[in-house]
Structure 1
Amino acid sequence: MSYRQPAPGTQPPYDAPEYGSTHKRHPKQPLLRVPQTLTETSAPRMRPALYETTHNLAKGPGWEAQGERITVAGRVLDEDGRPIPGAMVEVWQANAAGRYNHERDQHDAPLDPNFKGEGRVFTDAEGWYRYTTIRPGAYPWRNHHNAWRPVHIHYSLFGAGFAQRLITQMYFPGDPLLPLDPIFNCVPDPAARERLVAAFDLDVTEPDYALGYRFDIVLRGRDATPMENPA
């Protein structure tokens, strides 16, 4: 099935010199297209009955995470603006202090025992998804001297099976670290980079509870959201 390809410069390259680790892990030989069988394209079916969903990462029975609550909502669309229903959307992030709940994260920042920093939702019939979480903190990384990652949330989107997966990141408006971040700036096209930045949305904001942000995701075509693993 053919579809519109991304416009040149709208997707990050496999090897980005300013993002050091890409040189060590990107393919050194031309990619080979491996034909997919029915198994890769149709199984296992991703649906809520088989996977636990987490619509509120910030609160559970008897506990509440520390930090600023936010709600994120948006639509998952194809290249013609049509909704993608039933897409599994996974998110993961650092806590409010800028630390991941993972043993390999040794950043000198406090862990929140009430915040796992991961969740999963599915899009509805109109392609909408929605979840509540804690606004993550910025954190240092060792790409270059005094390097800090902007505030961001990681996204993973699945199609009909595990072979249909796209990965990206959502950033926040007005972050002063964005112009300095090699990962964000791997995308050559400035307009495409802006598609990675969520917009504050009063309609998504929950009164007396959480500020709201809108983040739409276009899976392919000329206006596709930049992905870390473009097809």
Structure 2
Amino acid sequence: MLRAVAVMAVLACAGNACAEEEDPELAAALLKCPGAAVFAKAEEARKAEDARRWAGITPSAPQLREQLLEMARVDQDARDGDWSQEMITKMLAVDAANLPRIKRIVADHHGLPGVREVGADGMAAAWLLVQHADTDAAFQQQVLEGLAPKVDSGEVSAREYALLVDRVLVNTGKPQRYGSQLAAISSRWQPKPMEAPEQVDARRAALGLMPLADYLCVAVEMFPAPATDADGKLL
């Protein structure tokens, strides 16, 4: 759907889009990250299966679907920049504007709206907006606690669930489990603190995530880190 979501799908193998032909920059990154390329190829079969599973469904809430897609588009446009202070200010303003809207949607639907309501792309957009609701970790935790049925139904992948787990842990000051959340330290992308880092690849493999080194490889190739000092502060 959106370029950054597609890139995240390859990085995390979350299943929204792992076909590198959809993005030439991604294809170039995968040439430099052969381990990630293997995962991307394997993911295409699962992507096709998901598409077949939901192909016959007409969303029952098309207007809500369009609203979610537009909110996600604005979210991603705000993140398509050079990590300047101006870009970060714009990104935070967009997140602040989206937060009460996605909270209201979640409240009205007693959780994330499902594929039958907003389609697979609309649900992916809703999930993305929750991921970026970083100023309200309690809200993210609330959504996370209600995701199990959608994981069981296949509407949310275990991998997407893991990404939100990491987000909630980081936003509540705890070590993450899967290494998905990165920080620019001394102008280099590094995982934020992790629980038992020596076991991270085993935890990732259990959910079908690529090894952390491959994840970092694609992140470095796709998104040049901003200039930062050893404490992660922008220079």
TM-score by length of 1: 0.29
Higher helix proportion, which one?
2
Q: If you compute each CA radius of gyration, which structure gives the higher value, 1 or 2?
A: 1
Higher strand proportion, which one?
1
